[in-house]
Amino acid sequence: MEFTAKQLAQILKGTVEGDPEVKVTSFAKIENGRQGQLCFFANPKYEEYVYTSKASILLVNSDFVPKQPVSPVLVRVENAYSSLAELLKYVSDEKKSHRRHRGWRSRVAFSAKLGHKVYVGDFSYIGRNCRIGELTTIYENVYIGEGTTIGSRCIIYPGVRIYPGMVIGDNVILHANCVIGSDGFGNAPQPDGTWEKIEHLGKVIIGNNVEIGANTTVDRAEMEATIIGNGVKIDNLCQIAHNVEIGDNTVMAAQCGIAGSAKIGRNCILAGQVGIVGHLTIADNTTIAAQSGVISSIRQPGGTYFGSPALPHRNFLRSYARFKQAGQE
C-alpha cells in the first residue's frame, strides 16, 4: 500500500494538517511509529506518544487539540478509530484480486453453479447442486457438501468444513478450520445404560455480514435450523449447539459455549468463556461478563450480568463483597 496524506483525507472524508504529499506505506501502533508509517490516536491514555511519535502521518479526531508540538502530519477525521477500521477494510479490499480461478487440483461437481469471478483453491471440494455467489473466495482444502448455498463476496479460509445442505448469506467470513453443520450432541439414554445417537437432519442458516472465527463449530439442528442472524460476530474456539438461535448483531468472544436450543437476542455481548445452558432465552442488548455461567433465562433487555451462576451486575457486586468479607474472617 502507498498513500499520501491528501489521498487518505479523500478516502476518509477528513482534512490534512501539514504536508499533504507526505507518503506512508504501512501501519503501526502509535508507540512504535516510524517514518513512512501511519498511526492513529483515539484513546486519551496514549496521548504522550502523540508528541514522541516518528510516524509520517497520524490519524486523529477532528476535535483533538495538541498540548505540545506534533511531528507527524495530522489527518483529522470525525472518529479516528472508526476511520482506521474503514481504511483497513479499504486496503484489504484493494489487495484482493477478484478473479475467476479454479485450482486444477480442486474438484467441483458438474451440477454446482459458481457465480461471476469465484475463486476456488487447490484441493477444495464443492459438491453436487451447490450454489456459490459472485466474487466469493474459497481457499485451499475447503469441503463444501452437497446442496449447500453460499452467497456473494464471502471468504472461506483454508480447512473450513461445511456439511451438506447448509445456507450461508452474503459477505460472510469463515476462518480456518471452522465447521458448519456437524451433528449436535444428542443422545438418548437406553434402559441398559447405553446411549442411542439421535440423528440430526436439520441445517444451519447463516445470515449476511457474519464472521465466524477459527476452529469454531456450529451444529446443525435435529429437524429445523440452527440460525445465526445478520451481522453476528463469533470469535475463535466457540461452540454453538443444535437449534440455537442468535439474534442480529450479537458478538461473542473466544471459548463461549451455547447449549442446544438456547435463544440469544439481538445486539448482545458475550465475553470470553461464557457458558449458556440449553433451552434458555437471553433478551436483546444483554451483556454477559467473561467466564459467567447463565443457568436461567434473562427476560429483561439491556442488563449486564456477572458470575456463575450469572447475576445482575449490582447483585453480583454485593454478593462478592460479602463473600470476600467472609473469607477474611
How far, CA to CA in Å, does 135 sit from each of 111, 115, 140, 210? 19, 7, 16, 16
DSSP state string for 80-108: HHHHHHHHHHHHHHHH-----EE-TT-EE
Nearest by Cα to 271 from 257, 254, 284: 254
Task: Provide the pairing of β-strand 57-61 with 37-41.
Answer: parallel
Q: Given the C-alpha cell 471468504, which residue does it identify?
A: 155
- Residue 313: φ, ψ to 5°: -50, -50
Task: Please give the positions annotated as active site.
Answer: 242
Q: What is the DSSP letter of 298?
A: B
Output b/e per residue, 256-267; b: 16+ Cβ within 10 A. bbbbbbbbbbbb
- Measured CA to CA, the distance from residue 242 to residue 228 in angstroms comes to 11
Q: Which three cell numbers stand for residue 107?
A: 474438484
